[in-house]
Amino acid sequence: DTEVTQTPKHLVMGMTNKKSLKCEQHMGHRAMYWYKQKAKKPPELMFVYSYEKLSINESVPSRFSPECPNSSLLNLHLHALQPEDSALYLCASSQDAWGSGNTIYFGEGSWLTVV
Amino acid sequence: GIQVEQSPPDLILQEGANSTLRCNFSDSVNNLQWFHQNPWGQLINLFYIPSGTKQNGRLSATTVATERYSLLYISSSQTTDSGVYFCAVASMIKAAGNKLTFGGGTRVLVKP
């Protein structure tokens, strides 16, 4: 069983909606990540949080807004998305973001469809 | 940035067969992981292996860091081994953080 939990598993939203994806880990990890995966493509990094601060933003459009309320939680707020944003959104965590020896663990993902 | 190439892109196996998946990368790495993505989308961590050899049941992996490649071996394949296998690496540049870059994946189908 994964120790990174994502909700919801599936989300359908309109282009004018505001929704959020949530991620939680209880492994004491201090780095958390959001990845986006389109069909038949590898995951691509969106954001990295290290010690609850945003450390990497891979030039993601502002309609995606990450938030890290505490060391165990990571949210991704969605607003005014486009149909091409439909994808699998994967959350991950690791002990920290900068050292070697950091195995990254992924959640089961949230399947997002924008209509 | 670092480039990661996996081969073959697709692999069809008969149950019980053995196979080798390859991952080539373009720069020195301090993190290399192999993942299996199941049909429901979950990425399951198979190995953390920036160098050396590890084994876990029917799976084993070897990374030769000096030659910038890693191999994943599947022995006595089962239908449950079907899915996509990804290699992912993070470079040794500190500024990059633990930023995993994924290869294109190898899509494996094991037939009964």
A58-93 confidence digits (pLDDT tens): 899 999 999 999 999 999 999 999 999 999 999 999
> Using a CB-CB distance cutoff of 8 angstroms, which residues of chain B are in contact with residue A88?
41
Contact B42, A88 (CB under 8 A): no
Per mean pLDDT, which range of A1-10, B11-20, B79-88 is the poorest? A1-10
| pLDDT at residue A97, rounded to an integer | 74
> Using a CB-CB distance cutoff of 8 angstroms, which residues of chain A are in contact with residue B102?
42-44
Look at residue A98 and give its three-state secondary structure.
coil
Residue B97 pLDDT > 70, yes or no?
no
Strands (E), A38-115: 44-50, 53-57, 64-70, 73-79, 87-94, 105-106, 110-114
Per mean pLDDT, which range of A95-109, B14-28, B29-43, B47-61 is the poorest? A95-109
A6 and chain B: CB distance < 8 Å anywhere?
no
Residue A102 pLDDT class (50, 70, 90 cuts):
confident
Residue B87 pLDDT class (50, 70, 90 cuts):
very high
Contact assignment for B33 to A97 by CB distance below 8 Å: no
Kindly state the helix (H) or strand (E) to which residue B56 belongs, with its residue range. strand B52-56
Token pair, residue A22, equals 């949530």
> Using a CB-CB distance cutoff of 8 angstroms, which residues of chain A are in contact with residue B29?
none
Our CA-based measurement puts residue A46 at a distance from the nearest CA of chain B, in whole angstroms, of: 10
**Under 8 Å CB-to-CB from A110, ≥6 apart: which residues?**
A6, A7, A8, A9, A10, A11, A21, A88, A89, A91
Residue A56 pLDDT class (50, 70, 90 cuts):
confident
